[in-house]
Amino acid sequence: MPHTASRYLAEGPRVGIRHFTYDDGVEFAARARESKALHQPWLFPPDTPTAYTAYASRLIEDPTKAGFLVCEKASGQDGGAVDGAIAGFININNIVEGGFRCGALGYGAFAHAAGRGLMREGLNLVMDHAFGPMRLHRLEINVQPRNAASIALARSCGFRLEGFSPDMIFIDGAWRDHERWAITSEMRASG
């Protein structure tokens, strides 16, 4: 029987992760529009195909960034999930190599996938990829303190709270406070 290559970089029981492509614009933008109530005021993913193209080009072309789409895998028992449907996204930004070997994570679930554990599975796959083939040592997540869902995801995946930074990131017209969460490859290996 011939082996068929997976379209995913890594797969779990319910999701696979793959890189962004320009062809994902229509679906991604539609999912972002459907998810505005879930995302705001925390994040503002591109909600038009044109805005998506600009966003994706940075993730595809800039070597200091790596973007991953978390996609559902149809299993026959998941209530009709469309195989390959985009459930969310996880980006590694500000990748620094050399002695630092670190990146900063940003992520978001789409409304149809929120609360189903798909992003936890996807984040675990991204961490395996980051600490494996990408050879990173440390991943960081900066989260606004009132974003309970994002903090719960970081905590459930083994990130530790390392500090608080007032006025850290400019979001939605103002400088916002953030909690700093991090995990290292050693923490991941021992967890």
Confidence of residue 26 (pLDDT cuts 50, 70, 90): very high
Give pTM, 2 decimals: 0.91
6-13 average pLDDT score: 91
Buried b (16+ CB within 10 A) or exposed e, 8-46: bebbbebbbbbebeeebbebbbbbbeebeebbeebbebb
53-68 average pLDDT score: 96
Is it the case that residue 24 has pLDDT exceeding 70? yes
Per residue in 30-60, pLDDT (tens digit) is 999 999 988 888 888 999 999 999 999 999 9
Q: How far apart are CA 168 and CA 171, in angstroms?
A: 9
Is it the case that residue 61 has pLDDT exceeding 60? yes
**Residue of 139, 151, 157, 155 lying closest to 179 (CA atoms):** 151
Per residue in 90-125, pLDDT (tens digit) is 999 999 999 999 999 999 999 999 999 999 999 999
Is it the case that residue 81 has pLDDT exceeding 80? no
Percent of the chain with pLDDT over 70: 93
Mean pLDDT over each residue of the chain, to the nearest integer? 91
In the prediction, which pLDDT does 77 show?
A: 52
Per residue in 123-152, pLDDT (tens digit) is 999 999 999 999 999 999 999 999 999 999
Q: How far apart are CA 105 and CA 112, in angstroms?
A: 22
Is it the case that residue 190 has pLDDT exceeding 90? no
In the prediction, which pLDDT does 75 show?
A: 63
In the prediction, which pLDDT does 18 show?
A: 97
Q: Which two tokens stand for residue 3?
A: 């082996």
Is it the case that residue 3 has pLDDT exceeding 50? no
